[in-house]
Chain A
């Protein structure tokens, strides 16, 4: 009996092959025999194209192995609009040097680097931008007074986005 069982042993690889055949067949009826296994399926007559109809017809994994799953793919879609760098009449913008997570303080609970009204020197830290787990200081491009903070704490910001605005010293 145990020998017979071995003869009829069905592997998961066989199951994957059968499911792929079922999902890809353009015919209404499919019959297959594989060693000790017989499978017969009948599809609806008015069945639309197999792939559109089968919610669980996963793409063939083994055949289509083409590189690691890239969960970042969505984020990678390049924005089509380009930010225009302008220094407005009201002040000098502080831009995000790369896309990343914006932090106003060095650590949770710590006081923010700057508030509206803070007087900064050129090179003072205005915020932190986390890029791939690295903490990047965003510094003031000029001396002056912070007049606007345009990003929220822990918000994901895009490259070139204005994070804050400084009213330059001379104009102050």
Chain B
């Protein structure tokens, strides 16, 4: 059996789940040489949300971050997560934008993509896969897992075959909500493995449900090629399992794994420091709670969205009705044909459930996107949409062909509107909403970072120096002695 490989998600999902995607490039570059030497299969560089957040809140140019990562990790292959027809941002993009985006990534040296569609309607990403392959990129596609009556093993196998037919380099069995239990992991991965013996298979699940470790163990036993993980301070919770856990599992299961554990420890140490300095939480592993699992599985609302729902309800003075909203979310999810609860479908379900409860009349208030979903704009729902909901939401409006805009000329239009911009700047303008773009253009500044940041002794001295109530400080480390005092002459003593 081939050695197990690990895809690093510290800089993508790790900071998205635990840092609200607010990690600046200055925390990535000092550890880059260590990550470059660790032996990862690939390093996840960015996703739509990190692109938007970098520009909007950190005022960093995302393209510049990608270039710097590329430069400081010359041996690493990177990937970029592409969200269906959104690509990056919220509006749907035609083929010309998809193509320019993939070309631009390639020029920077980001030579891998992973594409996903929450409905597993691969008509939405077939073009991404085709162009990616033509450009020589490494193309992975996600088989989005969910627990529902329609998401059977047979369903997933048919979907995996479809992906294989589209020519992807690897298939990722991706459990975005942490809904997978170990028995299902064994059965599903085993069956996909048997059906597609030549296909490179990845698996990822989230530790929030408390069973990611036994799920990863089953995946290893079923011959998975690649598992996704993160550095320990950026792992657990709604991130991915820690690399250290994967190393331990491989050891216990007798599977070879070429990761440099010294590099992993250095990464852990660095990101623990980053979390301390930025006042960000680190997560302990969760334990499996069968009652919580049973409740979560009914609606499968992602953890990242739960706090949004809570604050929406609190804003209406209805925080106490959260259980009712969650129960309603389970009903809405079923009525919508069980879309996988990832962006944007988790929002559709969550917001509709909230509106249904708050207004007191189901589907009396329906967001525009929800109506579009019901008319087929986002693609084929996994299961049928409830007829009563269709009657109420769609009425006699016609269905929409989801591929109608694929051949629109968005680039030519954007170029005509915005004048001569570089490809990168043009894509940024297309991806960001007008407010975000304005904020970014007004505040953007070059990325700054300190190449000497990874020196613990220096960091200790700097930190002690910042504490005004300390009158005297003396540090000895090896043959080095530093003494500082706020009173002249005191140091000599």
Contacts and interface: CB of A to CB of B under 8 A. Distances in A.
B203 interface: no
Interface string B295-312: 000000001100110111
B472 interface: yes
Contact of B272 (A13, A48, A68, A154): A13
A89 interface: no
A68 B359 CA distance: 30
Interface string B469-481: 1111111111000
Contacts of B90: 133
Interface range, A side: 35 or more
Contact of B463 (A15, A48, A59, A62): A15
A11 B459 CA distance: 10
A42 to B, nearest CB: 4
A98 B304 CA distance: 20
A136 B272 CA distance: 42
Nearest to B369: A134
A88 interface: no
B269 A11 contact: yes
A18 interface: yes
B311 A76 contact: yes
Contacts of A19: 276, 460, 463-464
B358 A56 contact: no
A68 B460 contact: no
A66 to B, nearest CB: 7
B281 A41 contact: no
Contacts of A115: none
Contacts, number: 202
Contacts of A128: 368
Nearest to A160: B316
A22 B470 CA distance: 9
Contact of B369 (A70, A135, A159): A135
B384 interface: no
Contacts of B475: 37-40
Given A76-B310, A136-B368, A55 B468 contact: yes
Interface of B: 17-20, 90, 233, 237-238, 269-270, 272-273, 275-277, 279-284, 303-304, 307-308, 310-312, 314-317, 319, 344, 347-348, 350-351, 354-355, 358-359, 365-370, 434-435, 456-457, 459-460, 463-464, 466-478
Interface of A: 4-5, 8, 10-16, 18-19, 22-23, 36-44, 47-48, 50, 53-59, 61-62, 64-73, 75-79, 82, 97-99, 108, 128, 131-137, 154, 158-160
23 contacts: A10-B456, A12-B272, A19-B464, A22-B464, A36-B477, A38-B475, A39-B476, A41-B470, A41-B473, A41-B474, A44-B471, A47-B469, A67-B237, A69-B19, A69-B280, A76-B310, A78-B315, A132-B312, A134-B347, A134-B367, A136-B355, A137-B366, A159-B358
